[in-house]
Every structure is written in C-alpha cells, then in structure tokens.
Structure 1
Amino acid sequence: MHHATRSKRLIVALSGAGLVAASMLTGPASASVAADEPTSTPVPIATPEGQLMSYIVNAKHANAGQTRLVESAVKAAGGEVVQSWPQIGVVVAHSTKADFRADVVELDSGHAVDSVGASRTAAVSEGTPGTGGATANGQLSVGGWLAGQDVTAAEAVTLDPREGEQWDMTQIKADKAHEITDGSSDVLVGVLDSGIDSTHPDLAPNVDLANSVNCTEAGRPDTAAGAAEPTTSAHGTHVAGTIAAARNGVGIVGVAPGVTMASVKVVNDDGYIYPEYAVCGFVWAAEHGMDVTNNSYYVDPFEFWCDDQPDQHAAKEAVRRAVTFSTKKGVVHAAAAGNAAYDLANKTTNTSSPNDGTAVNRTLNSTCHDIPTELDGVVTTSSITQAGTLSSFSNRGLGVIDVAAPGSAILSTVPGGYALFSGTSMASPHAAGVLALLKSTHPDATPAQLIDMLRAQATDTACSTTTRGAACVGPVEDNSYFGEGVIDALAAVS
C-alpha cells in the first residue's frame, strides 16, 4: 500500500541501552553476501529498558513442540507471547526488557530458537492484546461463503453505470471475459490491506464477513464484528473494487465480479504494515480457504529487508515462512512492485528506511528484498498507463517483474463513493482478479500452475521509452518493465 496514498513511504537516533550486536543473535542468514558485494548498512534498533517493543522469534523447526520451547524462552527472558503460529514456527512477543533479544537466546534451554529480531524501530503503539500464549487453532471456517455459482457463459452483459469509464478493464480484456463468465463465488480472494467497506453497494454482495479478520492488534487475529472494516484509509476498499466490484447495476465492475472477497486488515491506523501483521494475514488466508491474496504494500518499516542484518533477517524469515505455508495450502499471491521508480534487479542504496523512526542512508546488496513482492511464489506486478507505457512511479527489474497491469488513474470504490487512485497498488489487484478468474475456470490448478498460466497468457509488450529511473532492458517476451507482458483476462476464461 505504500503506495498510492503515501508514496512508497505505499513507504531514531540509535544509541544507548538495548543495542544488540549481530554476534549476540542466533540463526544463520538465509542468504550470504557475495565476495564482491558490500555488507548492507547496519540499522541497529534501540530497545530502551521500559519501552514496550515487538519482536519476532523463529523456531528452528515449524511444529508445536518447538514453538512451545520458544514460548518458554520468551517468558524466561521477561517477554509476553502475543501470538504463536506453530504451523510455521513463529512467535510474536512483546517485552520492555532492554536485553530481551540476547536473553531469549541465552535462556533458550530447549535450543529451539533459530532467530530473533525487533519487528519495528518504534515502540508498540497498540498495546499488548489479551493474554499471552494465544495459539491459532487452524480451523477452517466456511460459514460465510456465498452460495456457489457455476462458471457459465452469459447470453448478454448489462453494463453498470460507470463501466464505460473503466479503461483499465478494456485494456486487459476483462470486458470481453465477462461475456463468458464473471468468475465463481466459490473462489475466495483475501484482500490484505486497510480493510474493505462491506457496506459499499458495489462490494456488499461479494464480501465474506465470516472469513474476514483484523491482524493489526499486534499480529493477533481479531474477528470481532466490524474489526476488519476500514478506519483511516480508503486504500483497501479501492483495491477490493478493482478485484471484484459486483455486476449489480451500481457504479463499476471488478475484474472478477462474481468471486468472493474477505477483508484481511493488515494496515494499522497510522498506515503501517508491520511483519507480525503480514504473518497473521498470510497464515489466516491459508487456514480459511482463500484461493488468492492481493498485497498492495511493502512490509514496514524497511522498504528493503536485508538478510545480513539480524533484526531484519528474523522478521523477513517469518514473513517468508508465512507466504510459503499459505502457498502450500493452495493460495496464490499477487503483489505490487512498488512506487519508487526503482530497479529491483540492481539494488544499491536506499534512503527511506526505517520509516517509523529516523531513516538511514543505506547501502544494499543482493540479500535485501522488498517483501512480500520479491518472495518466491508471489506475482510481482508493475504498473502501466492508459497509453500502455510504464507508469512513471513504477518499480521495474529484469527477472523480477512477472507481469504488468493498469495502475495509473484507476476508477474504483472508496467509502461513500468512487475515486481515481494511482500506484502499483492499483495494478496488483488487476492481477489478483485475473488469478481469481483462472481459479474459477481451473479450480484444481495449483498456485504454481496459476502463475504459469498468468505469465504465459500475458500479452508480450516491448520495451517503451524510459520515463524515470532505469532504462528498459530485455526482450519483448520478458523485460524489466513489463515482465512477461500485460495480463489478459479474456485468455484466463477462454
């Protein structure tokens, strides 16, 4: 989400007690730095005594026994277990102890801790919810799914009032796809964002409230009535409209207007998506029958998370585990490439992170990634204009971008009406919508097969004139601006 509303911010002076040296933390980096590369610039996170901070503690193995051992180490070190995910061996903890990270390692009597790191540079603002040790039961809830709808050819398509303004749907041939099918309501798309306005007349028919959740309570799932509704941002509602605004004679129509959506709120009221929120969202999607997720954000507070920095590695590893787990459960993920006009294939420096404290002028290396968009199994989506050129703000990268989709001046739903937003945040939901159509027409396809189809069916698009940042490189079949091409909704249902 960093993004359209706050310009890829969507996107502390570090001294004194609580600074932890890399040698004091356990767990190997998931990727080593090449001999000819620099070490990324360290960003030590201060954890003063008495200040409530949030931490990610990863177990060496993803099982209940190892997770319980990690919980014991957390408690012995003076921390409180906020949420445990034994499915992936991840524990979210809070502590006011300056030396919590080092103490968790020292007091790990079961030798279960793989890595530990602070998940943000700022103090916890939401407090510690509930009591410690809450473990998700992993039960699949399907009570809120709408009645099944067969994928059949329609004899005629009746246009919604503002559908003629949706150039983006014409560009990806969604209008033609709708002559065949609007998608199946058996397909559930998780919108990991700032919440969906479930009362909006264009969205209400397709929102599954029973499978919606708020993950911003320190990373602990909150299913209270209204918890997954938007509070300070229209972003998630706009994204949801692009994916699946209903064909109901009102307003606009989404890419897949027949599919179902769940609101998975991962953006807090200050606009941050911390690692524990994202982990909660991906595991929730896996355990609640979702087929597709859309991720129009990068995980805060780092635009790029570097594996050779202990705090960043621990949080990045937790998100990676959550994405991998959900993929294995059958969920396919679309994500925004980012709005910094940056070449993701050639990272060198970054000046915007951490964005919840004092930013540092950082040197980057090949272990540094924008997450979740650069994680395995995630469709990285760049943004294009109505003219078909790369949007001036869009990130790019040879071998990084999978596909391109419309993202400039996109008309969609917002609480109380409709609005034009721009950003790769707006491109990604187009890809998520096409993935939902593919799942509708290929219900037994795996996430890898859906991604292969999406990429293969995309319209090859040759390099265009450089508008900002790095020049376009690569062949028409797969280049740094458009990846394997512009997504094609008609091909997905044909």
Structure 2
Amino acid sequence: MSLTSRTRRLTAGLAVAALTLTTAGAASAAYAMPYAPAGSTVTAAEPGPLMNYVVNTKASPGHVRKAENAVKAAGGTVVESYARIGVVVAQSTNPDFRTDVRAGRDGREVQSVGATRTAAVSEGPVGSAAKASAQAPTKGLAAGEATMAADPDEAKQWDMVQIKADQAHKVTDGSRQVLVGINDSGVDDTHPDLAPNFDARNSVNCTGNGVPDTTPGGWRPTTSAHGTHVAGTVAAARNGVGIVGVAPGVRIASVKVVNDDGYIYPEYAICGFVWAAEHGMDVTNHSYFIDPWQFWCDDNADQGAVQEAVRRAVAYATDRGVLSVAAAGNSNYDLSNKTTDSSSPNDSTAVTRQIDNDCLDLPTELPGVITVASTTQAKAKSGFSNFGLHTIDVAAPGSSILSTLPGGGYGTMSGTSMASPHVAGVAALMKSVHPWWGPRDLERGLRKQADDTACPATPDPRCTGTTADNAFYGEGIADALDAVRRGW
C-alpha cells in the first residue's frame, strides 16, 4: 500500500509486503424493498444501493430496543447492537433511511445516524455471507528473498536498542497474564515466532459487516502481511527463532478489522474495540485509520454520527481496562493545524475539502488513545510521519523495521504502523510489572518514561514546542527500560 492517499493504514517498506487495494464499487444491486409497517408515516422508496449505518441512542437496553424498532420501521436490518454504548449498526437499501429512521415514536430515540461508507456494501446483505474458513495463512517471503532472516536476528533489531527493550528484557520479558490485541489485517498464528504467544480463544474476525466471527482461522490474514508484521514487533517469542518482540513473554490475540480490499470501515473498528473490552485485553494496537474518510468531521451528519459511535466504543474499552495505542499516520501532516484533505473518501471518488481541527483522524485522535509518531534509526522524525503539538503523545521506531511475515517469513516494513506496536509492547511490559495499573495509569507512565527528544538542530518551523513536549516526538521516544523499573 502506498504512503499517499491511504496514509498510515497498513504501510509497508517493501513492495513485496505492501497491500494492493481495490476500490469498492459505487453501487450494488438492491436486495430488498424497504417496507412501511402498519401505522407508519414512512413511504416506501425505490431501493438504492445496500448501505451500512450507525444509529446512536442512549446507552441502555430499552433505548437500543426502540432504536432497533426504528431501524426496522425504516426498512432496515439490524446488523449488530451494542446496548452498553448505545450504538446500533444497521443495513438498508432505503435511500431515505437517515430520515425515515427518525420517524415515529421509536425514531425519537435516535440521537444521530450516519452512513459508514460512501460505496455500497461489498460484503453482501447480512446473513448472506458464509463464515470464514480456517484457511492456511498466506505465504510470506521465502528463504533468501529480500530481508529474510532464516536464523536468529535479534542483533539486527536496532529498533529494540533505541527504545531500550534489550535492556528491559533483563528485568522482564512480560507476563503471561497480559493480553495484547492486534487490531489489524489478521495474524498468522502458525508462524514459529508467534505461535507460542498466540491466544486463539480470544481472537476474532470483525470484517463481515462488523459482526464478530469466531470461526477458527477467520482471524488469519488473507491478502495482507501487515497484521503479522505488527504482531511480531509486539510479542515475537524468545525461542531461538528469528527475532524478539518488545514484550516476548505476553500473549497476543488477532482482532481482524481489515477486509480483503484493505478497508477498515467503522463497524469493523467498533466491533474490534468492543471485543477487546469484553475479552480481557490489556492493550490493543491500531495501526490504521478508519475508512473512508482520513478525517471525520462532526459538522457532517454522517461523519459526525460515526465519530460519536467510535468515540463511545473507545471509551467503553478504556472503562473496561483496555489501553488503546494507535499510529499517527504517514502523510507528513500537521494534525494540530488541519486545513485541507484531498484523499477522502477513498472508497469512491476523493474530493478536496476544507477541514479544521474538529475533523478527527479516527481512532488515533480520540480521547484515551495513545498517538504514536515514527522515528528513524538516527532518532529523527521519519519523513512520512504525521506530527502535531499536543497531538503526538510519544514516538518510536518506524523506519525499516524487521519483523514477522506470514508463512514463517521475516521482512522489513516502514510506517507509523510499525512505530505504534513498539509502544503497545512497552505498555504491555509496564502492565506486566504494574498489574494493578489501568489504562490511564499506563498512559501517564508512557508519557513520563519517554525520553525527551529535542527538535532538529537545524531549525524546522514545523517542530514547535519544547524538548519535553513537541510536535515531532510528543513527550519523547518510548523507553522500555524505564517502563519496567518499579521504583518510580
């Protein structure tokens, strides 16, 4: 995948490891005519393309039931309901669904509603898709190709030295009680460096309209090596094979939120956050932005409703003990001074639009999410890395990172996608030595223990702030050694 319009999501340094995306079609066949129940004021319209929506209401079973009734009255189908956050994911071919779902007594319970994409649903109508099969993982690099590491290659991991993970491992490799969710394109759980730490019981596939699918193997990659690479950085095992992750003693679970075309739609991400919240995860890594908008603006009805639904899912995960860590993005863009966006929507036809700081990169700019910028081996900001004063929390290595690939391989990738799992791994080590800490404690710890990193010696006007907190590095480069010291 390129580092242009798709920015942070699933970036790769090697062409052999990059994703190839296909744009979803602008329309699909109508599957059902919306209906008007007896006594309803809704008038049936000619069916349009099949679309998914988030419908927000108050967080209670009663309010969600009324919202579900409103969805059905508007000719929609309930895909998934989250009473704990007051979000219903719905599907409809009714082109007037946004208006009709608010009609009638039950419709008054709807606080906001928005389409989750601009292209028609490609997964097909709810209930039509077959369950994922337990397919074999895709093949990675073969021996001798590119940067394949057939033998133990810990000495090549400059990134672990930069964040002092090699020194932290003398204190701890991490606790088996700590579980990290790899919310990504799937993880090859058969990889010899990942199998020892993989937790299949808590893994899931969320790419079927955002409905959790626990079919064995459904969490594996199908078209992308990205999630497997991220997983290795977090927790490749210390087993005499290949490389070592930041936290080689913790467990990892695959939360697949990237579909075969490379899209991470809101319903997938919401499914992933809620799943993590309800399956005992301590840390989750999110090396993506939510499609199809690079920035979701709350003054747009669709985008505002999605922004709120995802915010609720993240807050729910935080309240249930999950620290969310996310990549800052690869557009070399100032997230603290937004002006224009020319790359969205990326599932139909992109337009150039004026934006401001109320338009959020999801999920990385939401409250409670650790936003991670990327550094080079020389501790400089990676050229592709997004930045922003008081937006970037910490930085970590992201340029030419060696990690695991599907099929037992190894290779390098670049991007803030690679920086974020370093911080997720540091958080996992910190949780291991402070098991009583919650997400907010871990967040404070990550900031406090980061190594202050000054702006470039050659002045760069984009790097505003101080040595202690600036636009390029936030509060500094993550420090795994300080993270595991108990006496601070």
Which amino acid counterpart does residue 371 of structure 1 have in structure 2?
Answer: L
1:463 is paired with a residue whose SS is: coil
How far did residue 202 of structure 1 move? 0.2
* Distance of aligned partners of 1:98 and 1:390 in 2 relative to their CA distance in 1, 3 Å threshold: same
**Which residue number in structure 2 is paired with residue 249 of structure 1?**
240
User: Are the counterparts in 2 of residues 466 and 472 from structure 1 also a CA contact under 8 Å?
Assistant: no
CA–CA distance in structure 2, aligned partners of residues 338 and 7 of structure 1: 16
Q: 1:493 offset after TM fit, Å? A: 1.0
Separation in structure 1 between the aligned mates of residue 189 and residue 366 of structure 2, nearest angstrom: 30
Q: Equivalents in 1 of 2:112, 2:101: separation in Å?
A: 10
Deviations 1:370-420 (A, max 9, x none): 010000000000000001100000000001000000000000001120010
For residue 211 of structure 1, give the secondary structure of its aligned residue in structure 2: coil
Within-5 A mapping of 1:409-424 = 409-416=400-407, 417-424=409-416
Q: Hey, what does 1:476 align to over in structure 2? A: 467
1:440 equivalent in alignment to 2:415: no
2:62 aligns to what SS in structure 1? helix
Question: What does residue 292 of structure 1 align with?
Answer: 283
Q: Which residue of 1 aligns with 2:90?
A: 93
| TM-score, structure 2 normalization | 0.86
The residue type equivalent to 1:427 in the other structure is: A
Gaps of 5+ in 1: 16-46, 132-159
Residues 174 and 248, structure 2, Cα contact 8 Å, conserved in 1: yes
The residue aligned with 1:52 is 50
Aligned to 2:348: 357
Question: Which residue in 2 is equivalent to 1:143?
Answer: none
1:136 maps to what in 2? Answer: none
1:311-322 equivalences in 2 (<5 Å): 311-322=302-313
Matched residue count: 434
Letter of the structure 1 residue corresponding to residue 219 of structure 2? A
| CA positional deviation for 1:12 | 11
Offset of residue 130 of structure 1: 2.8
* Residue 113 in structure 1 maps to residue 104 in structure 2: no
What is the deviation of 1:106? Answer: 1.5
Specify the alignment match of 1:66 in structure 2.
63
Q: Does 1:217 align with 2:215?
A: no
Report which stretch shifted further, 287-296 or 100-109: 100-109
SS at match of 2:207: strand
Question: Which of 252, 259, 269 is residue 268 of structure 1 equivalent to?
Answer: 259
Aligned equivalent of 1:323, options 314, 319, 339? 314
- Which one-letter code corresponds to 2:472 in the other structure? Y
How big is the shift at 1:48?
8.0
Q: Does 1:206 align with 2:206?
A: no
1:338 equivalenced with 2:329 (yes/no):
yes
Matched, 1:304 2:295: yes
| 1:369-448 matched pairs, under 5 angstroms | 369-416=360-407, 417-448=409-440
Q: Is the aligned partner of 1:83 residue 2:77?
A: no
Q: Distance in 1 between matches of 2:291 and 2:459?
A: 27
TM-score, scaled relative to structure 1:
0.85
- Aligned twin of 1:134: none
How far, CA to CA, are the matches of 2:19 and 2:194 in structure 1?
A: 26
Q: Displacement of 1:49 after TM fit?
A: 2.9
The residue identity in structure 2 corresponding to 1:88 is I
1:192 and 2:183 matched: yes
Q: After superposition, give the CA deviation of every residue in 1:249-280 in whole Å (9 maximum; x if it has no partner).
A: 00000000000001000000000000000000
8 Å contact kept, 1:66–1:89 = yes
Q: Give 1:51 deviation, angstroms.
A: 1.1
Task: For 1:7 and 1:130, locate their aligned partners in 2 and report how far apart those are by CA, in whole Å.
Answer: 28
Give SS of 1:216's match: coil
Cα displacement (A) at 1:161: 1.2
Alignment of 1:488 with 2:479, yes or no, is yes
Give the distance between the partners of 2:19 and 2:441, measured in 1 at CA: 33
> What amino acid is the match of 1:55?
Y
- 1:109 Cα deviation from its structure 2 partner: 2.7
SS in 2 for 1:297: coil
2:174 paired with 1:176: no
| Offset, 1:182 | 0.2
Gap change, CA 1:442 and 1:8, over 3 Å in 2? farther
In structure 2, distance between residues paired with 1:350 and 1:290:
34
Distance 1:12 1:308, change over 3 A: farther
Unaligned runs of 5+ in 2: 1-7, 13-17, 28-44, 129-150
Aligned partners of 1:428 and 1:465: how far apart in 2?
Answer: 25
Q: Using a 3 Å threshold, how does the CA distance of structure 1 residues 97 and 420 change in structure 2: closer, same or farther?
A: same
Is the alpha carbon distance of 1:87 and 1:8 closer, same or farther for their aligned partners in structure 2, counting shifts above 3 Å?
Answer: farther
Where does 1:125-144 land on structure 2 (aligned, <5 Å)? 125-130=122-127
Contact 1:3 1:425 in 2 (8 A): yes
Q: Is the 8 A contact 2:26 2:118 kept in 1?
A: no
Question: Identity across aligned pairs (percent)?
Answer: 63
CA distance in 1 between counterparts of 2:52 and 2:389 reads 35
Over residues 430-462 of structure 1, what are the superposed CA-to-partner deviations in whole Å (9 max), with x where a residue is unaligned? 000000001001101111111101100000000
Cα gap change, 1:211/1:50 in structure 2, threshold over 3 Å: closer, same or farther?
A: same
